[in-house]
């Protein structure tokens, strides 16, 4: 994601369709903002939130589609497929600072639009100051060293494996082995969320009990990153 000189989020796509590219681009912009594949009641009241196509650069036509489309197959056979790079500007206030909603907006169900035989998100251009809304890591390198007590040299970390399948007490047992081995940092695997066999709140209680006990015994506070997403 790069910075731009506009006050909107601009997404660049490469699209392919046997239909008119300008029409297809408008469908994409509408589908991902205020509209749908056809006009809906009340759409005019949300005009301020509509995304707009701001650029279309045609590329070479293709004689076969990149991907099949049942929607287009029902319309008959096509002799050629138009390809273009398009830019769509989305009002910044549509999703504010919510990155998951922006992901759904810029790379969501547009990939299933029946009018398209190909679509790829190439670039996201954000306005100045957009990134400043996100404070970044809470502790950073210096804070991590301060908390862990490792003032210099490498910090040694690991991930609990197997990543899923352990009950909270099993997890805590693995953590106990690691802290006794003088580990600096432990994290949940990205596959470990909030499973029924190891609920997040129970895992936190079990793991932090081990880490606090180790701190009371040795004065070393091992850092642990729980997957809360």
pLDDT band at 37 (very low <50, low <70, confident <90, very high): low
Token pair recorded at residue 5: 């000189």
φ/ψ region of 147 (left if φ > 0, alpha if ψ in -120 to 50, else beta) reads: alpha
**pLDDT for the residue numbered 111:** 93
Comma-separated ranges of CATH 3.30.70.150 domains in the chain: 2-132
Identify the three-state secondary structure at position 186: strand
pLDDT tens across 106-143, in order? 999 899 999 999 999 999 999 988 988 888 888 888 99
**pLDDT for the residue numbered 3:** 42
**pLDDT for the residue numbered 2:** 45
pLDDT tens across 77-86, in order? 899 999 999 9
- Measured between alpha carbons, how far is 168 from 151 in angstroms, rounded to an integer? 31
In this prediction the pTM is: 0.70
CATH of domain 2-132: 3.30.70.150
Distances (CA, A) of 14 to 10, 59, 62, 92: 13, 9, 13, 22
**pLDDT for the residue numbered 132:** 87
What is the arithmetic mean of pLDDT over 177-190? 95
Q: Is 207 exposed, middle or buried (0-12, 13-18, 19+ CB in 10 A)?
A: buried
């Amino acid at each position: 994601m790069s910075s731009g000189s506009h006050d909107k989020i601009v997404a660049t796509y490469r699209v392919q369709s046997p239909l008119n590219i300008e029409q297809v681009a408008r469908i994409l912009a509408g589908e991902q903002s205020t509209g749908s594949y056809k006009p809906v009641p009340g759409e005019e009241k949300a005009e301020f939130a509509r995304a707009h196509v701001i650029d279309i650069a045609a590329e070479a036509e293709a004689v076969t589609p990149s991907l099949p489309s049942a929607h287009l197959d029902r319309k008959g056979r096509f002799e050629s497929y138009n390809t273009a790079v398009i830019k769509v500007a989305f009002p910044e206030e549509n999703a504010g600072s919510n990155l998951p909603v922006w992901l759904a907006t810029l790379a969501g169900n547009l990939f299933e639009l029946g009018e398209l035989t190909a679509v790829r998100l190439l670039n996201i251009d954000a306005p100045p100051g957009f990134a400043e809304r996100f404070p970044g890591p809470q502790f950073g390198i210096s804070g991590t060293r301060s908390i862990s007590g490792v003032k210099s040299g490498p910090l040694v970390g690991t991930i609990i494996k197997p990543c899923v399948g352990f009950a909270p007490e099993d997890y805590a047992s693995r953590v106990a082995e690691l802290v006794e081995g003088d580990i600096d940092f432990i994290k949940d695997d990205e596959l470990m969320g909030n499973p029924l066999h190891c609920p997040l709140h129970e895992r936190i209680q079990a793991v932090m009990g081990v880490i606090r006990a180790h701190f009371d015994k040795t004065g070393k506070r091992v850092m642990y990153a729980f997957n809360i997403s």
